[in-house]
């Protein structure tokens, strides 16, 4: 269902992002045109830094992405979750399952204590994905991210690795 992205996925991702450019635009930062090219995607994949990037795969085709961004270790052991699913695969539980898989990996493979996610206040679909995965709302961040060209308020959610009781 999800697997780590590789540079060989760049072409397929560029094509999928191009096909979904208008669909994703209200939920995304404004992107440079290079973002929609194979070379641009290859660069993003190779410069992942402190992120863990995954593709969502359905019937051997990439249908979206899910990421753990800004992984911080030390006493925080936390990361920010990001995801999108192509319009052609929407509304079938793909994001819900991909987030479940990624959160599991965050707590096992990556040893994290906490995963955070922020949604636009009107992104009900994304809020449902988080709620179904046991995330709880902990705040409202005013003018938190520049999405679609505007600094927009976000609802913040988190899920803790519950066995971390010490």
Ligand X SMILES: CC(C)(COP(=O)(O)OP(=O)(O)OC[C@H]1O[C@@H](n2cnc3c(N)ncnc32)[C@H](O)[C@@H]1OP(=O)(O)O)[C@@H](O)C(=O)NCCC(=O)NCCS
Per CB under 6 A, residues contacting ligand X are 24, 27, 83-85, 90-96, 119, 123-126, 128-129, 132
Distances (CA, A) of 103 to 15, 69, 83, 109, 153: 27, 12, 12, 10, 24
Shortest gap between Cβ of 107 and ligand X (angstroms)? 20
Contact 66, 56 (CB under 8 A): yes
Give the shortest CB-159-to-ligand X separation in angstroms.
Answer: 14
Q: In what order do the strands lie in the sheet with 136-147?
A: 2-4, 52-58, 61-72, 78-85, 114-120, 150-160, 136-147
By beta-carbon proximity to ligand X, the closer residue of 92 and 143 is: 92
Check residue 131 and report its DSSP letter.
Answer: H
Q: Which helix (H) or strand (E) holds 81?
A: strand 78-85
Q: How far is the CB of 166 from ligand X (least distance, A)?
A: 31
Closer residue to ligand X, CB minimum distance, 71 or 147:
147
64, two tokens: 């979206």
C-beta neighbour count of 10 within 10 angstroms:
20
CB of 75 to ligand X, least distance (A): 26
Comparison of 73 and 137: residue with beta carbon closer to ligand X? 137
Q: Cβ closer to ligand X: 46 or 136?
A: 136
Residue number with CB closer to ligand X (11 or 82): 82
**Closest distance of CB 13 from ligand X, Å:** 14
């Amino acid at each position: 269902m999800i697997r780590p992205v590789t540079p060989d996925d760049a072409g397929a991702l560029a094509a999928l992002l191009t096909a979904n450019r208008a669909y994703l635009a209200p939920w995304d930062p404004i992107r440079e045109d290079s973002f929609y090219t194979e070379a641009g995607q290859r660069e993003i994949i190779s410069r992942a830094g402190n992120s863990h990037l995954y593709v969502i795969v359905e019937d051997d085709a990439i249908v979206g992405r899910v990421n753990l961004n800004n992984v911080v270790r030390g006493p925080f052991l936390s990361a920010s979750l990001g995801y999108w699913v192509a319009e052609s695969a929407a509304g079938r539980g793909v994001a819900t399952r991909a987030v479940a898989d990624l959160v599991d990996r965050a707590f096992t493979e990556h040893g994290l204590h906490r995963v955070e996610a922020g949604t636009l206040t009107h992104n009900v679909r994304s809020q449902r994905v988080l709620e179904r995965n046991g995330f709880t709302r902990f705040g409202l961040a005013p003018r938190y991210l520049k999405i679609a060209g505007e600094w927009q308020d976000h609802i913040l959610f988190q899920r803790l690795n519950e066995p971390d009781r010490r």
